[in-house]
């Protein structure tokens, strides 16, 4: 009898420990900070804000897959989308956590923020929620579902007046490369699927089935009620043994810029009437080439409602603007980049100026003589990066505020406001600096 009581007590104790471990575990978020890989442990209960009118976890009914909220139908898009978007980025992990989303909504309701960017398909190739798309299911991309009830998440966000952007990592896709190696970049030496220095596989941007696959995911997002879809990694690979790549579709002669421009045009044609945006390297605002990856900002201007250069000061090389540590000068770096990005946009309205702007590009073709109706909406840095102790390695509230001010001083002026679309904050761990955000008016 004593043995049975002891065994029962042991089972109860062990079960309690196991339950505690399950409920207090941290979520490991692996996310490419727009081409900077990061791995950060983030507690699911990590609060972002605790002020103002709050949304409780009980009312945010998305965590339980068995919840009736999983049966919420597709949602209408936000009736009155903001003219100026101020957003934060969220991984699928975060968007699938009721506690995290509760804190995100409370943060937005108490600050100047009005939008979120949620991963639909991230760098891993996995999609964040189950989709009724045969090609996606067959590829294995539904192998790591993080958001049980996507429609419920959209409803809760829209009910709180929050604009929702879905983010798709395009041509970096290990899952699709495994399912369809015939569409992927290959190693010319070994014949195997090529991988970059982070060990990730890439798809050939010229391969039409790949473009169709990405478009099918975006179409699903719009059908559910996403207000906008954001396309990232819209380029050729940028690191690793680039010279050792063979392509199944790209002929190696057509300029990369033309290949990516044709992809941009494909997206615009596929989603006429919908709001779409593209993320580009920050240097696309300054350089007059395609950066060796096919990205030319004028091509994006022609085809997207919003163009989002990733003007993270930490990503600019030593010597940029004469600074040893550009990250320590957020205002100067971002203002300079956006001034040049805006100048390239305005120059498209004057054929003579526009042609000189792109004279160094092989195969570049723009509809000169008009200014596209796009808006600039840059990604801003709210993360730490760089050598320990170096200036600009740790990003403070003051530095994020300087980034915002550079955007305002460059784009939100009497002469440029027509091309100003707001800004978005990036942190791979989804922990944002509250002190850098203005309170809600």
Can you tell me the distance from the alpha carbon of 167 to that of 265, in angstroms, rounded to the nearest whole number? 18
Q: Is residue 316 part of a domain?
A: yes
Q: Which two tokens stand for residue 321?
A: 């603007």
**Residues 143-181 as b or e (16 or more Cβ within 10 Å = b):** eebbbbbbbbbbbbbbeeebbbbbbbbbbbbbbbbebbb
Q: Is residue 86 part of a domain?
A: yes
Residue 139: strand pairing partners: none
Per-residue pLDDT reduced to its tens digit, 83-129: 999 999 999 999 999 999 999 999 999 999 999 999 999 999 999 99
Q: Is residue 84 part of a domain?
A: yes
The mean of the pLDDT values for the chain is: 85
Q: Residue 12 to residues 4, 17, 119: CA-CA distances in angstroms? A: 12, 9, 39
Q: Is 383 a residue whose pLDDT tops 90?
A: yes
The CATH number linked to 261 is 3.20.20.80
Residue 34's φ and ψ, nearest 5 degrees, are 50, 65
Residue 73 structural domain? 2-436
Q: Are 392 and 314 in contact (CB under 8 A)?
A: yes
Please count the structural domains in the chain. 1
Return left, alpha or beta for 164; rule: phi > 0 is left, psi -120 to 50 is alpha, else beta.
beta
Q: Is residue 305 part of a domain?
A: yes
Can you tell me the distance from the alpha carbon of 432 to that of 208, in angstroms, rounded to the nearest whole number? 38
Per-residue pLDDT reduced to its tens digit, 296-315: 999 999 999 999 999 999 99
Q: Are 204 and 249 in contact (CB under 8 A)?
A: yes
Please tell me which residue, 68 or 204, carries the higher pLDDT value. Answer: 204
Q: What is the pLDDT of residue 77?
A: 98
Q: Which two tokens stand for residue 7?
A: 């065994």
Q: Is residue 217 part of a domain?
A: yes
Q: Is residue 269 part of a domain?
A: yes
pLDDT band at 35 (very low <50, low <70, confident <90, very high): very low
Q: Is residue 337 part of a domain?
A: yes
What count of other Cβ atoms lies within 10 Å of the Cβ of residue 220? 21
pTM, 2 dp: 0.85
Q: What is the pLDDT of residue 54?
A: 53
Across 276-359, the runs of DSSP E, i.e. the strands, are: 276-281, 306-310
Q: What is the pLDDT of residue 441?
A: 85
Q: Is residue 441 part of a domain?
A: no
DSSP run (H or E) holding 176: helix 174-179
């Amino acid at each position: 009898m004593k043995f049975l009581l002891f065994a029962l007590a042991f089972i109860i104790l062990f079960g309690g420990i196991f339950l505690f471990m399950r409920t207090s575990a941290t979520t490991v978020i692996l996310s490419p900070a727009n081409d900077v890989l990061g791995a950060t442990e983030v507690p699911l209960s990590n609060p972002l804000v605790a002020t103002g009118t709050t949304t409780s976890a009980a009312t945010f009914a998305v965590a339980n897959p068995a919840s009736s909220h999983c049966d919420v139908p597709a949602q209408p898009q936000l009736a009155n989308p903001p003219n100026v978007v101020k957003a934060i980025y969220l991984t699928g992990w975060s968007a699938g956590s009721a506690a995290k989303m509760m804190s995100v909504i409370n943060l937005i309701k108490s600050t100047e923020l009005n939008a979120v960017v949620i991963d639909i398909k991230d760098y891993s190739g996995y999609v964040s929620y189950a989709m009724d798309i045969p090609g996606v299911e067959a590829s294995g991309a539904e192998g790591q579902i993080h958001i049980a009830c996507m429609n419920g998440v959209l409803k809760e966000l829209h009910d709180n007046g929050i604009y929702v952007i879905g983010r798709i990592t395009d041509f970096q896709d290990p899952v699709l490369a495994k399912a369809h190696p015939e569409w992927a970049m290959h190693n010319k030496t070994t014949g195997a699927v090529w991988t970059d220095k982070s060990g990730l596989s890439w798809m050939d941007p010229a391969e039409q089935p790949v473009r169709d696959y990405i478009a099918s995911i975006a179409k699903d997002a719009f059908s559910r009620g996403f207000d906008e879809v954001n396309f990232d990694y819209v380029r050729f690979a940028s690191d690793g043994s680039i010279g050792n790549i063979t392509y199944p579709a790209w002929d190696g002669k057509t300029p990369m810029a033309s290949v990516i421009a044709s992809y941009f045009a494909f997206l615009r044609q596929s989603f006429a009437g919908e709001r779409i945006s593209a993320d580009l390297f920050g240097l696309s605002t300054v350089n007059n080439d395609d950066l060796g990856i096919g990205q030319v900002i004028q091509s994006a201007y022609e085809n997207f409602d919003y163009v989002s250069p990733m003007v993270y000061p930490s990503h600019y090389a030593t010597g940029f603007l004469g600074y040893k540590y550009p990250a320590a000068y957020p205002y100067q770096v971002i203002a300079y980049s956006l001034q040049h990005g805006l100048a390239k946009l305005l120059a498209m309205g004057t054929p003579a100026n526009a042609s000189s702007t792109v004279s160094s590009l092989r195969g570049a073709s723009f509809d000169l003589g008009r200014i596209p109706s796009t808006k600039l909406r840059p990604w801003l840095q709210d993360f730490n990066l760089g050598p320990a102790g170096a200036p600009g390695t740790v990003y403070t509230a003051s530095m994020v505020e300087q980034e915002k001010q550079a955007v305002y001083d460059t784009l939100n002026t009497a002469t440029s406001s027509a091309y100003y679309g707001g800004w978005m904050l990036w942190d791979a761990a989804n922990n944002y600096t509250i002190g850098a955000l203005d309170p809600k008016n």
